[in-house]
Chain A
C-alpha cells in the first residue's frame, strides 16, 4: 500500500517534470496545419523537420549561435586563466583573502543585478563597449568569476600539499612543481570549471539584453526571444525548433559533467 502511493507520487513528479519538455519536442516536429487543430495531439501525425530549417530562415540563428559560441569561449577561457592563480593562492595561503573571497561570492548572490548593471552600462558606454561582444565578455567574466574561483580552490585543496613539498625537496622550483605536479592533477577540475563558465555565458540573458540592443550583435538567447515577434505573434514551430537547438550544448555539458560537478562542489564545501 505504501509502495503504491510512493509510485503514484513518483509518477506525478515525472509527469510534471516531463510534460513541458514533451510538448516542446512535439511542437517542434509539427506541421502548421496540425498545430492549428482544435484538439492538439501529443505525437505529431506527420512529423516534420521543416521547423528546424525554417528557424534558420526566420532569424539569423547561425550568426547568433556563432556569436554566442565566441562570447562563451572567450569568457570561459579568460575566467579560468585569471581565476586559476587566484584559486591557488586561496587554497594554499588561507587567511584574510579567503574570507574576503567567500564574502564576495555571497554578496554577489544577494545584491540585485540592477545596482551593478546601471553603472556598468554607463562605464561600458564611456569605453565604447556597449553593443559590442567584447563588452559582453567583460561582463560575463566578472560574473562567473566568483563561482569559478570557489570551484577551483576546492579542486586545488584536493591536491595534497605534501606532493608539492616533496617536489621542493627534490630541488624543483615552485613554478616547476606547480606545472609538473599540481597541474596534471588539477586538469579535470579545470575542465569542469571551464564548462561551467561556458554554459553560464551561453545561457545568459539579462546582461546581454542590456548591453546588446543592436540585432546584428545579439546572442542566441536574445535572438530566441525575437521569435515571439514585436507584437507577440509567435511562429510556434520554428520557435520550438530553435529552442531545442539552443539547449543541446547545455545537455551535452550536463551529460559529461554532472557527477564531477557535484563532487567538486562537495569538495569545496567540505574542506572549506
Chain B
C-alpha cells in the first residue's frame, strides 16, 4: 500500500532527501500507524475473515475442525423458510421505518423552519431520543406498551398485549423505530432547508407560485441531495438494526419481529453456526448494496 501512496514530491526543505519514499510520506504513515494497527487487527481483518467464514462450516466453539464448503451455506439459507420470513420482516421494517421516518422528519423540519412559538420546545424534544441509550428507549416503550400498567391501553381503552400480538408486534416496533430515528433525519433535513437560498423563494413569489408550487418546484429539488443521502443511510441503519428490537421483543412473538440481524445473532451465538450466520450477514450486505445502488442510480438518472 505504501508504494502506491508514494508521490515523488520535491523536497520542501533543503535537508529533505528525495530518496525512495519521501520524508513527507514517511511522516504521514508514521502518524497514521497508531490508528491503522487496531483498525486492521480488529475490524478490517475480522471483516475479511467473516466473509471467508461464510464459505465454511465453522462452528462458534473451541477446537472445531473447519472446512471449506463453498456455497453450501447459501443454498441452505435460500431453502430455509425461517430465513425468508426474517428477510421479509426485515424489508417491511426497514422500508416502512425509513419512509415514515422521512415523512415525519420532513414535516417536523418544515415546521421548525417556520417562525412558530414553542418551536424551541419541539427542537429540544426532537433531539432527546438521540441522547438516550437505545436500551433505555426500548425499555421505555415496553412501559408504554405494557398490557396492564402501560399508558397506551389506558388511553385507547383496550386490553392488548401489543408486543406479544402476532399481527400488532411488527407495527408496534415500527413506531418505536420511527420515534428513535426521527431526530437525526430531522436535524439533517433542517440543515438542508436552511441551506436553500432565499432568493429562489422570492423569485418564485414574484412569478406568482403558490405555497405548494414553491414546495414542489423549489424546496424538494433543492433538498434532493440531502434527501437521497439521509434516506440511504437510514435504510442501511434500519436493515442492520439489532439492539432496539432485541430489547423490545427479542424477535417474538413466534418470530414475527425477528429481523435478519436477530436471526443471525441467534444462529451464531445460540446455535453456534458461525459459518451459516456469516453467510446470512454476507447475503444481507449484498442485498443492501444492491438496493442502495439501484436507488442511487435511479436518483442520479432522474436528477439529470
Task: Check B111–A239 contact: CB distance below 8 A.
Answer: no
Per-position binary interface string of chain B over residues 36-50, scored 1 when its CB falls under 8 Å from any chain A CB and 0 otherwise? 101100111111011
With A145-B38, A253-B131: A20-B118 Cβ-Cβ less than 8 Å? no
With most chain A CB atoms within 10 A of its CB, the pick from B28, B62, B116, B136 is B136
Secondary structure at the B interface, as helix, strand, loop or mixed, is helix
**Chain B residues near A227 (CB-CB < 8 A):** 139
Q: CB within 8 Å of B: which of A91-149? A: 93, 95-97, 104, 107-123, 125, 138-139, 141-143, 145-146, 149
Task: Check A113–B261 contact: CB distance below 8 A.
Answer: yes
**Chain A residues near B121 (CB-CB < 8 A):** 14
Tell me the count of chain B residues lying within 8 A, CB to CB, of chain A: 92
Q: CB within 8 Å of A: which of B22-67? A: 24-25, 27-29, 31-32, 34-36, 38-39, 42-47, 49-51, 53-54, 60, 62
Per-position binary interface string of chain B over residues 108-151, scored 1 when its CB falls under 8 Å from any chain A CB and 0 otherwise? 10010010111101100111111111111001111110101111
* Interchain nearest-CB distance for B245 vs A (Å): 11
With A13-B108, A35-B149, A205-B134: A224-B39 Cβ-Cβ less than 8 Å? no
With A82-B34, A85-B35, A110-B288: A224-B136 Cβ-Cβ less than 8 Å? yes
Task: Check B149–A262 contact: CB distance below 8 A.
Answer: no
With A23-B143, A82-B35, A236-B149: A112-B134 Cβ-Cβ less than 8 Å? no
Task: Check B268–A209 contact: CB distance below 8 A.
Answer: no
With A88-B31, A142-B42: A112-B127 Cβ-Cβ less than 8 Å? no
Task: Check B38–A82 contact: CB distance below 8 A.
Answer: yes
- CB of A210 closer than 8 Å to a CB of B: yes
With A95-B5, A122-B60, A138-B38: A13-B131 Cβ-Cβ less than 8 Å? no
**Chain B residues near A36 (CB-CB < 8 A):** 148-149
With most chain A CB atoms within 10 A of its CB, the pick from B142, B143, B269 is B143
- CB of A40 closer than 8 Å to a CB of B: yes
* Interchain nearest-CB distance for B268 vs A (Å): 5
Q: How large is the interface on A (under 10, 10 to 19, 20 to 34, 35 or more residues)?
A: 35 or more
The answer for the CA separation of A262 and B280 in the assembled complex, in Å, is: 36
- Partner-contacting stretch, out of B166-174, B216-224, B235-243, B296-304: B235-243
Task: Check B43–A108 contact: CB distance below 8 A.
Answer: yes
- Partner-contacting stretch, out of A2-10, A45-53, A55-63, A186-194: A2-10
**Chain B residues near A246 (CB-CB < 8 A):** 133, 135-136
- CB of B103 closer than 8 Å to a CB of A: no
With A6-B116, A13-B111, A39-B154: A115-B50 Cβ-Cβ less than 8 Å? yes
Least CB separation from B40: chain A residue:
A142
**Chain B residues near A114 (CB-CB < 8 A):** 50, 261, 264-265, 268, 277-278, 280-281
Least CB separation from A213: chain B residue:
B269
Task: Check B144–A20 contact: CB distance below 8 A.
Answer: yes
Task: Check B122–A96 contact: CB distance below 8 A.
Answer: no
Residue among B32, B42, B122 making CB contact with A14, cutoff 8 Å: B122
Task: Check A17–B149 contact: CB distance below 8 A.
Answer: no
**Chain A residues near B126 (CB-CB < 8 A):** 13, 17
* Interchain nearest-CB distance for B290 vs A (Å): 12
Task: Check B53–A109 contact: CB distance below 8 A.
Answer: no
The answer for the CA separation of A110 and B242 in the assembled complex, in Å, is: 14
- CB of B4 closer than 8 Å to a CB of A: yes
- CB of B193 closer than 8 Å to a CB of A: no
* Interchain nearest-CB distance for A86 vs B (Å): 4
**Chain A residues near B136 (CB-CB < 8 A):** 224, 243, 246-247
With A17-B128, A20-B179, A120-B42: A234-B142 Cβ-Cβ less than 8 Å? yes
Residue among B51, B111, B125 making CB contact with A18, cutoff 8 Å: B125
**Chain B residues near A262 (CB-CB < 8 A):** 187, 191
With most chain A CB atoms within 10 A of its CB, the pick from B42, B44, B130, B150 is B42
* Interchain nearest-CB distance for B195 vs A (Å): 10
* Interchain nearest-CB distance for A7 vs B (Å): 7
28 A–B pairs (Cβ distance < 8 Å), ordered by A: A6-B116, A14-B121, A17-B126, A17-B129, A19-B151, A20-B144, A24-B140, A39-B154, A40-B151, A82-B34, A86-B32, A86-B35, A89-B29, A95-B5, A112-B264, A115-B51, A115-B285, A117-B268, A122-B60, A142-B43, A210-B265, A210-B269, A224-B139, A236-B146, A247-B131, A247-B132, A251-B128, A254-B131
